[in-house]
């Protein structure tokens, strides 16, 4: 008989999903207009073929900054708690997004994009808290919701970026009367996203509770010590009330509140693990696969606006920011639906290994569609019905990609040897993710630009290289146990 699924604290889950969505929202809102924004700064010198280089720099610096800060955020959360670290994220994102939209020079864009990466560095803490709210019966569902939150933000971001960019041209009778939008045509989508993240900050400020088992154990021990010093008795009922107020402390193996002062002291005094203690095969193999997934996923997403916006003679589809945003949004909505209702069930039924292998293999279809789209568009000299048919096939395969993310996250969470190691484990995983996500935009966009500028392999060199990486990732997926 199947074990019943343990309910998850709904308010805490909602807040965590919103914080996760805010991070992906801020990361992706610039995608539809970043090629044009880079050209408007004058850094390309009017050469469209160089846009990919500089757009890649903005994509990469975001992730380099995240990489540099992610492990530090995790360690800070171990010492001061998850709540303050999580609240700093959306607050900082709000101001850095507005600054990005206000900038008219490439150096300004660089600085504020870097700041967004730093404040996105607490993403590993988000995953830790979601795991601490879960147990073995609901872990797949919870981690699928993390993916859904990220996917929702990734969907809404390009929609906002596409619909609200250049508002003075799209709505001349309303926004066109605001001179500030003539000087800063991309301020509106960035400011709208900033206000959303600021709203999430205030919601978290009101409702977010602490979840770190070590921090909670220390607080309980301090109250016990204070009660002992004043000869007060802390009853079982009071302990139960306090536990309810903070939600589940950790996963199934540590979900119970310490029953004795000795157990409480052990948990409160537990030392944080070193990186060397964590880097064992049980974690290294999932990290290897997570690295392949993050690189391929980021590369595929970076190529989306570049390839779709590049003119047809230069190997793209020649779509504008609005068309790119809507196309991206449609597949994002469908992706969210499948994550919510399908992903966790597939993992429970077929196992996380089988789901990961199947899902990752779909990168071959998604990436392979790019050169096919280019060939068909050049042949027709326009985006005809056949081109749109391939876009549909690419989008359907894209829906399955996020299932691999949910599956590999379960591997990573289960590799933590003890409660105090969960944040560090997620921190190492996020460092792996961010460094590869940082390299992917620069490498792929540079290869994209070089392929077109030097006509390497008919302009398709970037796709050939990426398909080779996908093939290696598929091979590594079979190492998972």
Average pLDDT over residues 453-473: 92
Given a cut of 50, is residue 331 above it in pLDDT?
yes
Nearest 5°: CA angle at 326, between 111 and 30?
0
Average pLDDT over residues 61-89: 87
Given a cut of 90, is residue 64 above it in pLDDT?
no
Q: Tell me: the pLDDT tens digits for 147-194?
A: 778 777 877 888 898 889 888 888 888 887 788 888 888 899 999 999
Q: Which of the four pLDDT bands, split at 50, 70 and 90, describes residue 475?
A: very high
- The per-residue pLDDT for 358 is 96
Among 49-58, 385-394, 407-416, 437-446, the range with the most confident prediction by mean pLDDT is: 385-394
Query: Greater confidence, 286 or 240?
Result: 286
Q: CA 188 to CA 100: how far, in whole Å? A: 11
Residues of the chain above pLDDT 90, percent: 32
Q: CA 413 to CA 401: how far, in whole Å? A: 20
Given a cut of 50, is residue 341 above it in pLDDT?
yes
Is 478 exposed, middle or buried (CB count within 10 Å of its CB: 0-12, 13-18, 19+)? exposed
Query: Greater confidence, 420 or 280?
Result: 280
Average pLDDT along the chain: 83
CB 95 within 8 A of CB 150: no
Lowest mean pLDDT among 141-145, 248-252, 290-294, 410-414: 248-252
CB 452 within 8 A of CB 314: yes
Query: Greater confidence, 395 or 2?
Result: 395
- The per-residue pLDDT for 270 is 60
Q: Which of the four pLDDT bands, split at 50, 70 and 90, describes residue 97?
A: very high
């Amino acid at each position: 008989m199947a074990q019943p699924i343990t309910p998850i604290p709904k308010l805490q889950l909602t807040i965590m999903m919103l914080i996760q969505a805010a991070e992906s929202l801020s990361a992706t809102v610039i995608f539809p207009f970043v090629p044009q924004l880079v050209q408007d700064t004058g850094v390309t010198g009017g050469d469209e073929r160089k846009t990919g280089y500089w757009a890649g720099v903005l994509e990469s610096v975001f992730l380099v900054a995240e990489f540099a800060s992610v492990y530090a955020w995790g360690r800070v959360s171990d010492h001061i708690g998850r709540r303050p670290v999580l609240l700093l994220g959306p607050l900082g994102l709000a101001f850095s997004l507005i600054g990005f939209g206000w900038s008219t020079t490439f150096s300004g864009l660089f600085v504020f994009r870097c700041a967004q990466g730093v404040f996105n560095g607490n993403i590993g803490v988000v995953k830790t808290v979601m795991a601490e709210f879960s147990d073995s019966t609901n872990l797949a569902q919870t981690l699928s919701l993390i993916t859904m939150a990220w996917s929702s933000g990734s969907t809404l971001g390009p929609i906002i970026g596409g619909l609200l960019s250049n508002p003075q041209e799209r709505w001349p009778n309303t926004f066109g009367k605001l001179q500030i939008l003539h000087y800063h045509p991309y301020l509106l989508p960035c400011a709208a996203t900033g206000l959303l993240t600021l709203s999430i900050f205030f919601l978290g400020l009101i409702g977010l509770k602490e979840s770190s088992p070590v921090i909670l154990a220390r607080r309980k021990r301090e109250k016990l010590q204070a009660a002992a010093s004043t000869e007060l008795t802390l009853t079982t009922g009071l302990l139960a009330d306090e536990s309810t107020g903070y939600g589940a402390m950790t996963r199934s193996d540590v979900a119970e509140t310490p029953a004795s002062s000795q157990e409480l002291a052990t948990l409160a005094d537990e030392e944080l693990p070193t990186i060397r203690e964590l880097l064992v095969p049980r974690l290294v193999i999932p990290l290897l696969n997570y690295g392949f997934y993050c690189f391929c996923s980021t590369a595929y997403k970076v190529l989306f606006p570049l390839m779709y916006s590049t003119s047809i003679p230069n190997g793209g589809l020649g779509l504008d920011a609005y068309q790119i945003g809507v196309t991206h949004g449609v597949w994002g909505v469908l992706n969210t639906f499948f994550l919510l209702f399908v992903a966790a069930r597939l993992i429970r039924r077929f196992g996380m290994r089988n789901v990961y292998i199947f899902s990752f293999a779909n990168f071959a279809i998604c990436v392979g569609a790019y050169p096919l789209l280019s060939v068909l568009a050049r042949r027709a000299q326009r985006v005809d019905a056949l081109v749109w048919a391939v876009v549909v096939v690419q989008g359907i395969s894209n829906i399955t990609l996020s299932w691999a993310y949910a599956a590999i996250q379960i591997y990573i969470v289960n590799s933590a040897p003890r409660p105090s190691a969960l944040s560090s484990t997620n921190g190492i995983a996020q460092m792996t993710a961010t460094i590869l996500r940082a390299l992917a935009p620069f490498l792929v966009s540079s290869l994209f630009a070089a392929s077109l500028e030097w006509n390497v392999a008919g302009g398709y060199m970037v796709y050939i290289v990426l398909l080779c990486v996908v093939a290696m990732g598929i091979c590594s997926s079979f190492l998972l146990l």
